[in-house]
Amino acid sequence: MVENGFELARFNMVEQQIRPWDVFDPQVLGQFLTLPRDAFVPNAYKGLAYADIEIPLAHGQSMMFPRMEAKLTQALAIQPGDQVLEVGTGSGFLSACLAKLANHVVSIDIHKDFTDMAGRNLDALEIRNVLLRTSDAMAAPSPEGPFDAIAVTGSVPTNAQAEIFRQQLKPGGRLFIIIGTAPVMEAWLITRESETTFREEIILETEQVPLESTTQPEAFEF
């Protein structure tokens, strides 16, 4: 009975939240229709697993809105042979979405309790192509790179602070990252066209908690 309720909630999430955000890729929609998001949500919020909210996690973090997770996944255009980097593991739901579409995912989080929780959640669904690591992704490039796609689930305040992720892209690789400071932030899709050139596209305006090790710019005082 509960699972039937979750199936209806998943369907409504896709039809009422995700499709209206211009997410039409059938592979992406298929993942959000079939992956049990409730399996990645803390017990206190199970009943809200498919709601249009950011579900709270520890350390002042939260799961993205489902529509943002889907928009990110569609923008990265994951292919079956892709090597993917995820920055900000959280509960592991987006890791699972990416892993279902890609060949392999490296997911990094600064909090060990998050990588531990994600590991348990992924194991329960027998998702084996995710390497979880507890470290600061802003401190050094991932040794498994370069990558075909990079998903950064927290924001960085300046374009310059996205550089460490740009440089981990293969030619043709795509980076989804949110840049700016509240209340003005934008989701960018950055594509590496060659060793030295990048194409940048602003997808939408949004707001997201910063990655914890970012450096906030000094506020201008009049």
Digit-coded pLDDT (tens) for 158-175:
999 999 999 999 999 999
Distance CA 222, CA 27 (A): 50
**Of the ranges 89-93, 120-124, 214-218, which one carries the lowest mean pLDDT score?**
214-218
- Supply the pLDDT for residue 214: 79
pLDDT of 220 strictly over 50: no
Burial level of 54, CB count in 10 A (0-12/13-18/19+)? Answer: middle
Of the candidates 72, 69, 108, which has an alpha carbon nearest to the alpha carbon of residue 88?
A: 108
- Supply the pLDDT for residue 68: 97
Mean pLDDT of the region 67-95: 98
Contact 209, 61 (CB under 8 A): yes
Distance CA 27, CA 65 (A): 19
Q: Which residues of 177-213 are buried (b: 16+ CB within 10 A; e: fewer)?
A: bbbbbeeebebbbbbbeeeeeeeeeebeeeebbbbee
Distance CA 163, CA 205 (A): 20
In angstroms, the Cα distances linking 83 to 144, 146, 211 are 9, 8, 22
Contact 157, 181 (CB under 8 A): yes
Mean pLDDT of the region 134-139: 96
- Supply the pLDDT for residue 5: 82
pLDDT of 93 strictly over 90: yes
Per residue in 4-24, pLDDT (tens digit) is: 689 999 999 999 999 999 999
Task: Kindly report the number of other CB atoms within 10 A of residue 20's CB atom.
Answer: 9
Per residue in 169-205, pLDDT (tens digit) is: 999 999 999 999 988 899 999 999 999 999 999 999 9
The rounded percent of the chain whose pLDDT value lies above 70 is 95
Q: What is residue 190's three-state secondary structure?
A: strand
Q: Name the pLDDT band for 215 (thresholds 50, 70, 90).
A: low
Q: What is residue 139's three-state secondary structure?
A: coil
Tokens of 76: 């990265």
The distance in angstroms from the start CA to the end CA of the chain is: 60
pLDDT of 2 strictly over 80: no
Residue 13's H or E segment, with its range, is helix 2-13
- Supply the pLDDT for residue 217: 60
Distance CA 129, CA 100 (A): 9
Domain ranges of the chain: 2-206
| Fold (topology level) of 2-206 | Rossmann fold (3.40.50)
Mean pLDDT of the region 75-83: 98
Per residue in 149-160, pLDDT (tens digit) is: 999 999 999 999
- Supply the pLDDT for residue 1: 37
Contact 76, 148 (CB under 8 A): no
Complete DSSP assignment for 77-101:
T--TT-EEEEE--TTSHHHHHHHHH
* Per-chain mean pLDDT for the chain: 94
